[in-house]
Each structure stands twice: as structure tokens, then as C-alpha cells.
Amino acid sequence: MRVDLAYGADGLVVDLPDDRTTVIAPVARPAVADEAAEVRRALREPIAGPPLRERVRPGQTVAISACDGTRPQPRHLMIPAILDELDGLVDTGDIVILVATGTHRGNTDAELRAMFGDQVVDSVRIVNHDARDAASLRWMGRHGKDVPVWLNREWTDADVRITTGFVEPHFFAGFSGGPKLVAPGLAALETVLTLHDAARIGDPRATWGVIEGNPVHDDVRAIAAATGVTFALDVVLNREQRIVRAFGGDLPAMHAAATAAARAAAMRPVAEPFDVVVTTNAGYPLDQNLYQSVKGMSAAAQVVRPGGTIICAAECRDGFPDHGSYRDVLTSAASPDALFEEISRRAETVPDQWQVQIQARIQRHARVIMHTSHLNDADLAAAHLERTGDIAATVRGLPGRVCVLPEGPMTIPYLAGE
């Protein structure tokens, strides 16, 4: 059985045993015929509340929040559509686009041009949010379950605040998009650390597809509600990262509709666990580093038997990456067991520990082998991971039933009845 795995920009084809392999992919969804027109429709025919143009008055200032370069958001379609709606109401000089980096690094000029297009970069001010720059943050009070909230001043001080994103299942926040474009996207480091502390991440409800009762998403939702979003715009994408449908309007109703569409396409029940699960991180840009690839491991962990094997194909062209604290935390203990126990006991959260906490939990449950083009054996050994240069040969050497998630976290399998 030849299976095309989403890997880097070009994909990876593997030949797996026909008699014991099951492929699980999202429901095939064609892109809309005219993606730009679909985005305009969502702005003019929102799920709830008036159209965007009716929410804006002449002379107002506008802040637009957008995903950073690790996300496949079609910013080149979504942002120009918003700017067109604002034309004649708001001066371009009164608009700022905020790259909702959370704790990630800022994007370079070349990356911004690839993300937004030259015309947007050359005509509208774009600012990379910096969670560690106190001067750029404003105190907004405590919200949710006692979360101290600082947000980007350019966002809080704008008259009109517009979130833009895309919705897919998320491995501890339930679903992406919507309120996450406020916090953690535009929040201070201390706010992010609280939202990602060991207790919240360790809660069994902090998982794929769960929003209500999820301690992470409950607080994220509370922050967005308390601090105010004028209009929210999200899209749902297919495997080719093309728009299937766009959703706009009041944030709660818009996000509920978008998550329902994403859930129907992405979450797939299986009857029983598998011995081996081959997964990916959905290709570039999602698989550009090991940190992001924990999501692919987590998708596989939902249906691998205890003691089974996960094989994760992720290009990792950006390494661990070198920025952030993920590598330092990951290599700070001798084993996944030691990491998990140490993080679980922490009273204070360290940046990026949440990714290590989830990775360690997965590795306590199953063996994890990586296929990657940019991390060597020593790198992976330091990360407590094994390596394979030939996925097919590794699978053939392992007994039992095999599951393949060719799009990784774009498909979330779960055991029927759970």
C-alpha cells in the first residue's frame, strides 16, 4: 500500500503492508471555487451580528490579529479582504496588523512577505507581537481562573479589534482559531505561562476537540470576552490548505460554527487501538520544527496501544528550534519519566514546558521514532527520541496492526465510546 505522507513542502511516499494497514484521513472536502469571494461573504454575511463594515465608523483605529508563520492561515486572502471592507472608512495609516506570535519568535521581512504578500507589507504597518517586551503590553486585570492578563497595547488601544485565523483540532486547547488570536497570541509571557501551567495542561479535558470544561480553552475564551473583540474571522481548510468555508461575526457564535465544521471533517472514531501508528505534522509550515511536531505525536497517541510504537515524519527544517526554551527543558532530565514527574511538580511554569510535558506523557505511553531531514541521531537522542531513515522498513520490522495518519493532526482519531 503506497501512502502519501504530508512531509515538508513536497510530501513523502511510503510503501506499507496491505494486509495490516489502515489509513485514516479527514473527510475529503473540496475548496470553494472562489476563495477570496468566500472570505468576502463571511465578512458581509456573518454567523452572528452585523457585517464588518457596519461595525466600523470613519476615523477609527483598527488592529487585526493574524497567525504567525508556523500556521497555514491564508493571510494573503483574508487580510486584503478585510482591508477592502475598510476602504473608505479607515485610513491605511490607522490600521495595524499584529502577528500573534504568543511566545514564538517574530517573523522576518521575507517571511512576512510570503505570509501577507508584498502589497500588504508595503502598505500597512505590521508588528510582530513580543510577549517579553513589557513596554508594549497593557495590564487588563485578572480573568478566567485567576489568569493575570497583559495584552499588546496596539491591540487594546485600537477602536476596532479583528481576529483572523483558521480552525482545526488542537492538542490541548481543543480547537485553534477564535479567542486564541487574543491570548495566548497577543499576551504577555506571564499570561501565557499561566494558561499553560502544569495543572491545566495535565487536566484530561485539555485535549483534542474539547472546549467546554477544558481549563485552557475556558480561560482563553474568558480573556477574549472580557477584553473585547469587534469582529472575528476564521476559515476551515482542506489538505491542500485551501479554504473550504469562511466564518465571520461575533466571536463566540462564529467560533462555535467553525469548530463544528472542523470537528465533522477531522475527528474520526476507531474501534480499537493499533500496535503501530505512523503520523506526520501535516507538512510545511506545520512540521518546520520538533516543537510543533509534538502535535502529530499527540494525534497518534490517541489510538496507539500502551507500549506500542509511534513513527512521526516531520521535516524539522528549523530544528528544535534554536529559539525558545523547548530544547533546554527537553534535555534537562535523563528520561521522559523524569521530565514528566519534574514538570508535574512545578509551582512555577517555565516557557515551553507544556510541549515537553505532553511529549513526555506520550513517551511514557508509547515508543516514539522520528523520520526527519534536519535533526541528526545525536539531536534526537538528546530529545529522548529514536530515528529512522526508512519508515517502510521500520514498519515491516514491527508486528501488529498499523494505522497511518497521513495528515497528522489534521485528522484526530479517537477510540469509539471515549
Q: Where are the alpha helices (DSSP H) in 87-145?
A: 109-116, 118-123
Residues 6+ apart with CB under 8 A from 89: 53, 56, 57, 58, 60
Element (H, E) at 109: helix 109-116
Distance CA 207, CA 216 (A): 9
The owner of cell 492561515 is 73
Active-site residues: which are they? Answer: 104, 170
CB 8 within 8 A of CB 373: yes
Element (H, E) at 359: helix 353-365
CB 349 within 8 A of CB 198: yes
Distance CA 63, CA 142 (A): 22
Query: Collapsing DSSP states into helix, strand and coil, what is residue 50?
Result: coil
Nearest Cα residue to 370 out of 288, 303, 310: 310
Longest dimension (CA), the chain: 67
How big is the CA angle at 179 (ends 62 and 189), to the nearest 5 degrees? Answer: 90
Residues 6+ apart with CB under 8 A from 350: 193, 325, 329
Instruction: Indicate the angle between helix axes 75-86 and 109-116, nearest 10 degrees.
Output: 70
